Amino acid sequence: MVKPIVQDKGMDHTIDFLRDGYFYFSKRMNEYQEDVIGSRIFGRKLVMLRAEEAADLVKDTAKFKPEKSIFELSTSLLREENGLFYLADINHHQEKAWFQEVFSAEKREELEAIIRQRWEERIEAWKINPSIDFVTEMEEMWVIAVCNWLGIPIRANNLKQRTTDIQEFVQLFSKYGFNRWKRKQAKNRMEKWLVFLVRQLRAGRIHVDEEKILSKLAWYEDESGQILQTGKVVQELLLLIRTFAASSRWVVFCQIALLENPGLRDRLQVDHQYVDCFIHEVIRYYSITPFAVAKTQEQLFWKDMFFDKNQLVLFDIHGANHHPDKWLQPDLFQPDRFLDILPDFGEGAAKELASANENITMQLMKVSLSYLLRTDWIAPNQTFTCSGTEIPARPKNGMPLDFYHQSFVEDM
């Protein structure tokens, strides 16, 4: 017997979605006490899912195909780890031949070293000018770091414009809805910039270290022995830039979690397993990339419910990471919930193996967390709230902080 999909009441819920942002999905599913809800947004019918087993369903390429027309948050990027769901562009890259060649363990170590160097420079600058907007500082720092790592030259007088363009490109949705024009203009400027650099490099007019990813990609040969087209090189560079520039948001939320839970600092400074728990809880609690979208390949039945061909389906990552049936007190920030989930690798070879296989975003979060723990801050009369109407998520009103102290903490 076919079970009907519960439909959200009303003709179209675009206004509700623009008001509530991605919280709209969980709000509706909690209201109906269902993990599968039909709705209509921007005139398009869709089915919202958040059950854990639904993730396996939408990742099944025999049944679903990625749909990138909405936010570019495709299920092809959906990952699950230790019960958490998130989107990971970098994992998507690993299927590509060029990526296996240029993104070695040495490249990971190089990126980590660059991030550490940038942190040291920023801390010295904060000692002189302690009043900062932490969000802006992180965005600029990560743009510099990522460009240094890729081998992309960036001038100091262009830094603010490049950072603005990259953040517009990273920002897939804003409180103004689909801000396509602004994002498209930023992307066009970035593409022109990168096309110019690739052509200049190939013409021998600029020099880039041959070990840098820009150089390796510019001269990478495909199976037929042909170098990649300039447009292809630029698109791959854009995806890498977006992936790692967005990592600055995770650092911002690590800082928010520390400021709002100061009692965790002492334990984090001495307990490496608890650091892993903390980072996983940041990813669960904040879910900065909150959903993924797919379309059905053919008609199908799932849990006695019928899905027509080309049915738009949205997997609610934020909702799954806050599902009351899976997580105890899901709206509280509690790293301890992962103590019985994450393995303790201890020290020595086992820990080194775990680190080598670790999600690179999580490793960079660890590096940044070690610097956050060795610095003290004053947050002047502010609570940090986030809007569901910005993707990736970010604090509504920036993050003004005053830096006032640096201490020694062992690197993680």
Residue 328 domain-assigned (yes or no)? no
Say yes or no to pLDDT of 88 above 60: no
Residue 153, preceding peptide bond in cis (omega within 30° of 0): no
Q: pLDDT band at 184, cuts 50/70/90? A: confident
Lookup: tokens for 73: 């948050």
The structural domain count of the chain equals 2
Say yes or no to pLDDT of 125 above 90: yes
Considering only residues 348 and 221, tell me which one the structure prediction assigns the higher pLDDT: 221
Q: Are 49 and 102 within one domain?
A: no
Q: Are 192 and 271 within one domain?
A: yes
Q: Are 214 and 354 within one domain?
A: yes
Residue 31 domain-assigned (yes or no)? yes
- The pLDDT of 159-183, averaged and rounded, is 73
**CATH code, 204:** 1.10.630.10
Q: Tell me how long the chain is.
A: 412
Say yes or no to pLDDT of 8 above 70: yes
Q: Are 153 and 69 within one domain?
A: no
CA distance 246 to 71: 15
Give the global pTM. Answer: 0.85
State residue 1's pLDDT score: 77
Residue 327 domain-assigned (yes or no)? no
- 47 three-class SS: strand
Residue 351 domain-assigned (yes or no)? yes
Kindly state the helix (H) or strand (E) to which residue 301 belongs, with its residue range. strand 300-302
Q: pLDDT band at 155, cuts 50/70/90? A: confident
Lookup: tokens for 38: 């039909």
Considering only residues 352 and 399, tell me which one the structure prediction assigns the higher pLDDT: 399
Q: Are 163 and 145 within one domain?
A: yes
State residue 74's pLDDT score: 46
Say yes or no to pLDDT of 355 above 90: no
Residue 190 domain-assigned (yes or no)? yes
Q: Are 62 and 149 within one domain?
A: no
State residue 330's pLDDT score: 92
Range of the domain at 182: 93-278+343-406
State residue 87's pLDDT score: 53
φ, ψ of residue 48 to 5 degrees: the values are -95, 135
Q: pLDDT band at 351, cuts 50/70/90? A: very low
Q: Are 181 and 69 within one domain?
A: no
Residue 338 domain-assigned (yes or no)? no
CA distance 372 to 262: 12
Q: Are 247 and 265 within one domain?
A: yes
- 106 three-class SS: helix
Q: Are 172 and 271 within one domain?
A: yes
CA distance 35 to 30: 8
- 296 three-class SS: strand
- The pLDDT of 80-94, averaged and rounded, is 53
Residue 333 domain-assigned (yes or no)? no
Q: Are 68 and 105 within one domain?
A: no
Say yes or no to pLDDT of 389 above 90: no
Residue 242 domain-assigned (yes or no)? yes
Instruction: Render pLDDT for 391-408 as a digit per residue (tens, 0 to 9).
Output: 777 787 788 999 987 665
Q: Are 201 and 295 within one domain?
A: no
Considering only residues 141 and 363, tell me which one the structure prediction assigns the higher pLDDT: 141
The overall average pLDDT reported for the chain is 82
Q: Is the dihedral of CA 175, 178, 182, 184 positive or negative?
A: positive
Q: Are 105 and 206 within one domain?
A: yes
